[in-house]
């Protein structure tokens, strides 16, 4: 996503005191013309940008499910069974779209949590949405089943799993997610990437505490598919006996990257976490080309 930026319309000239008043007056019409022309071009660019924004194809679709997933997180399911083109456009975990709610102009960008196979068979998108005060997401999480929202086309290239394929060559895959960043990771795991054919697949999943950690009910299912789940809590309750602190610190304590050349990485969530993990792994010899990032 890019934003338009504009230079100042006209650079103010520095006039010398030696110039006569008539010299200056003779040039004022030209200066005014330049200012008008530049302003016209700016107006044209702004107008064109508005047209491009309005040209987005928005598809109305009803909410089929809204429920709490964890503290400040919500499961949202949207019925797109009447929009086969939208269904077909979702082909890879890690893709996302824009969502608009009634009477709110600003859309929200949401990663799709359900795998493409689910969308194809059920005609639905599932999302994990963080409710942030004053945001479009907060309004979305307050809507009811049957209310209509608008969806943009599916966007982004998603996770290019071919970069860490075949499983026999990339036997280690390290996955890192924080907060609602687990959303596209769920899609990746449930799509399947040969985790059961790799010797070491670990998911380091960070949250403040268990009340803030979504998808706990799926951990056993994910582990049965070959993914070892390592929850990491930054502010755990007294009874917690698992990993504590930040994801990057928990990984630094464990590391155990025996074959850097056979290691793939997936990163999604907080940018600082992703940057620190990347630096650690590159220092250990893991190729940056084998790191699939979504943050």
Q: Are 156 and 210 in contact (CB under 8 A)?
A: no
Look at 3-7, 222-226, 275-279 and tell me which has the smallest mean pLDDT.
3-7
- Residue 154, pLDDT > 50, answer yes
207 forms bridges with which residues in the sheet? 233
Structure tokens at 91: 């082909």
66-88 average pLDDT score: 97
- Residue 282, pLDDT > 70, answer yes
Tell me whether the omega of the peptide bond preceding residue 166 falls within 30 degrees of 0, making it cis. Answer: yes
What does the pLDDT look like over 179-193, one tens digit per residue?
Answer: 999 999 999 999 999
In this predicted structure, what is the pLDDT of residue 40?
44
Whether 161-293 and 59-151 are alike in CATH topology: the answer is: no
Which secondary structure element, helix H or strand E, spans residue 178, and what is its range?
strand 172-178
Bridge-based pairing of strands 200-207 and 228-233 is parallel
Distance CA 185, CA 281 (A): 20
Q: What is the pTM of this model?
A: 0.80
Distance CA 240, CA 253 (A): 18
- Residue 164, pLDDT > 70, answer yes
For residue 87, the tally of other CB atoms under 10 A from its CB is 19
- Residue 259's nearest CA partner among 176, 169, 183 is 169
Indicate the domain borders of the chain. Answer: 59-151, 161-293
Q: DSSP string spanning 224-247? A: HTT-EEEEEESS--TT--SEES-H
Distance CA 191, CA 177 (A): 17
Alpha-carbon Rg for the chain in angstroms: 25
In this predicted structure, what is the pLDDT of residue 105?
87
- Residue 161, pLDDT > 80, answer yes
Q: What is the mean pLDDT of the chain?
A: 85
For residue 96, the tally of other CB atoms under 10 A from its CB is 19
- Phi (first) and psi of residue 98, to 5 degrees: -100, 145
Record: fold of 161-293: Rossmann fold (3.40.50)
- Residue 55, pLDDT > 80, answer no
CATH architecture of 59-151: Beta Barrel (2.40)
For residue 290, the tally of other CB atoms under 10 A from its CB is 18
Which band of pLDDT confidence, cut at 50, 70 and 90, is reported for residue 21?
very low
In this predicted structure, what is the pLDDT of residue 84?
97
């Amino acid at each position: 996503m890019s934003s338009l930026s504009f230079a100042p319309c006209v650079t103010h000239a520095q006039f010398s005191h030696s110039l006569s008043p008539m010299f200056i007056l003779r040039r004022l019409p030209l200066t005014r013309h330049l200012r008008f022309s530049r302003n016209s071009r700016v107006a044209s660019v702004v107008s064109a940008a508005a047209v491009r924004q309005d040209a987005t194809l928005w598809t109305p679709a009803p909410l089929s499910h809204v429920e709490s997933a964890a503290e400040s997180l919500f499961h949202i399911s949207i019925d797109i069974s009447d929009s086969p083109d939208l269904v077909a456009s979702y082909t890879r975990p890690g893709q996302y779209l824009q969502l608009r709610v009634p009477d709110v102009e600003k859309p929200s960008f949401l990663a799709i949590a359900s795998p493409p196979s689910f969308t194809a068979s059920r005609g639905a998108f599932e999302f994990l949405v963080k409710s942030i005060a004053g945001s479009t997401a907060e309004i979305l999480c307050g809507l009811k089943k049957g209310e209509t929202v608008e969806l943009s086309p599916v966007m982004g290239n998603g996770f290019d799993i071919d970069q860490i394929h075949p499983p026999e060559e990339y036997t280690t895959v390290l996955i890192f997610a924080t907060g609602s960043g687990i959303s596209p990771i769920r899609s990746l795991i449930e799509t399947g990437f040969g985790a059961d054919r790799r010797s070491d697949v670990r998911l380091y999943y960070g949250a403040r505490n268990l009340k803030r950690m979504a998808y706990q009910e799926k951990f056993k299912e994910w582990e049965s598919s070959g993914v070892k789940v390592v929850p990491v809590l930054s502010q755990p309750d007294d009874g917690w006996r698992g990993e504590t602190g930040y994801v990057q610190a928990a990984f630094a304590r464990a590391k155990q990257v025996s074959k850097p050349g056979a290691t793939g990485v997936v990163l999604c969530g907080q940018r600082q976490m992703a940057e620190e993990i990347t630096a650690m792994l590159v220092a250990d010899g893991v190729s940056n080309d084998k790191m699939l990032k979504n943050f």
